[in-house]
Amino acid sequence: MVMDVDGTLSTEVAVKAKHPEWYYNDMVSHGIGYPNDNAGKPVPSIVGLTNGLIPKGAKNVAVAREFLKYFIQPKVIGEFVELGLGRWLPVMPSLAKSSFWQDPKDPHLRGYVQQGLLGPTIPDYYVYNLAMAEVRSQHVWSMPMIEVAREGAKPEVAVEKAFKRIEEIFAKYKRA
């Protein structure tokens, strides 16, 4: 058994076209959820969000604002998210009621929306911790993967380097 806890259905969606039998029969996600914690309460899902922003110095702020006003309309953002085929969740619970998310023939979507949107959730750790936010923004875990794949670095060395970088970042934020 393999558990892919990445907050998306990307793995499932990636195999759906070439191996629909895997998607519909072999891959299990609907209704599993996380186990309960030691107190018997459901473990909340970590939710990551993507932000829209207008950078300082943008040349056409008025048009950017109009686009964002358009884009965040429930109908528009709902259709956009559905085009991802389950790679992302809608941010508005009302959108989870659409026929796409509630398709009784799909073994993954209803469970995904229940676990990642309608069930207990918490923000990602970087929301609470500046050091973790910096680790994430510097792609500290992506860098060793690139070093191994592209440059032939030994995995142990690349991971050790990442841990060292994480320790350096966390040390900057240590309270006296």
Convert the pLDDT of each residue in 8-19 to its tens digit: 777 888 888 899
In this structure, what token pair is assigned to residue 110?
Answer: 């209803």
| Residue 67 and residue 56 in contact, taking contact as beta carbons nearer than 8 Å | no
- In sign, the C-alpha dihedral spanning 89, 35, 5, 14 is negative
Extents of the domains making up the chain: 10-123, 127-172
> pTM for the full model?
0.70
Report the distance separating Cα 73 and Cα 173, nearest Å. 39
pLDDT attached to residue 49: 76
Mean pLDDT for all residues in the chain: 88
Mean pLDDT in residue range 47-61: 87
CA 123 remoteness from chain centre: 11
Contacts of 173 (CB under 8 A, 6+ apart): 129, 130, 131, 134
Q: pLDDT-derived band of residue 87, with 50, 70 and 90 as boundaries?
A: confident
The Cβ of residue 116 has, within 10 Å, a number of other Cβ atoms equal to: 20
Q: What is the pLDDT of residue 19?
A: 92
In this predicted structure, what is the pLDDT of residue 103?
93
Contact by Cβ (8 Å): 45, 34? yes
Looking at residue 32, its pLDDT comes to 67
User: Considering the chain, what percentage of its residues have pLDDT values greater than 90?
Assistant: 56
